[in-house]
């Protein structure tokens, strides 16, 4: 199964770390959407869309990418999101957007990522050290179950 993980990881590189861990086991091509969103998805059976959480949603650029992209029929999609406070599912809007395009998401994985947004900077940030080895091990295990 040919797999790609498309990511935006702009705050501390947290999502990139988790995506890279998943890419080891799948295996998957890692594509940084902040460099270019001109990506040919036609060769992939499975595509991961990944970003940090920004204001309770996945990053606007990855939401835009999903809005504008034609995903080939039969292609499977999974989601990865890292966040400072993991108390809700921040992939909900993305799932809704994809559902409106007739795409059902195979699964989603969320874990904490070091967060120095706004007032958190004054206390040295939250979720320090995340994603840690335990997070990455969980990510590898979860990704392994997608195959």
Ligand X SMILES: Cc1cc2nc3c(=O)[nH]c(=O)nc-3n(C[C@H](O)[C@H](O)[C@H](O)COP(=O)(O)O)c2cc1C
91 binds ligand X (CB under 6 A): no
48 sits near ligand X (criterion: CB under 6 A) = no
**Shortest distance, position 36 Cβ to ligand X, whole Å:** 18
Go through the chain and tell me how many residues it has. 147
Spatial contact of 81 and 48, defined as CB atoms under 8 Å apart: no
**CB 53 within 8 Å of CB 82:** yes
Give the residue from 10, 55, 48, 57 showing the smallest Cα distance to 30.
48
The single residue among 44, 47, 52, 63 that binds ligand X, judged by CB under 6 A, is 52
In the region spanning residues 92 to 121, those forming contacts with ligand X, defined by CB under 6 A, are 113-115, 117
Q: Does 14 bind ligand X (CB under 6 A)?
A: yes
- Residue closer to ligand X by CB (options 69, 110) is 110
Contact 71, 41 (CB under 8 A): yes
Q: Can you give the binding site for ligand X, defined by CB under 6 A?
A: 9-16, 52-56, 82-85, 113-115, 117
């Amino acid at each position: 199964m040919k797999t790609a993980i498309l990511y935006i990881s702009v705050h501390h590189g947290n999502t990139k770390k988790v995506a890279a861990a998943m890419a080891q086991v799948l295996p998957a091509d890692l594509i940084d959407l902040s460099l270019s969103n001109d990506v040919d998805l036609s060769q992939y059976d499975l595509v991961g869309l990944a970003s940090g959480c920004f204001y309770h949603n996945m990053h606007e650029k990855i939401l835009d990418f999903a809005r504008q992209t034609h995903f080939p029929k039969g292609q499977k999609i999974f989601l990865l999101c890292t966040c400072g406070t993991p108390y809700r599912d921040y992939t909900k809007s993305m799932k809704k957007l994809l559902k409106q395009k007739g795409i059902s998401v195979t699964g989603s994985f969320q874990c904490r990522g070091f967060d120095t947004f706004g007032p958190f900077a004054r206390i040295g940030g939250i979720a320090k050290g995340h994603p840690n080895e335990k997070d990455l091990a969980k990510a590898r295990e979860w990704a392994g179950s997608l195959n």
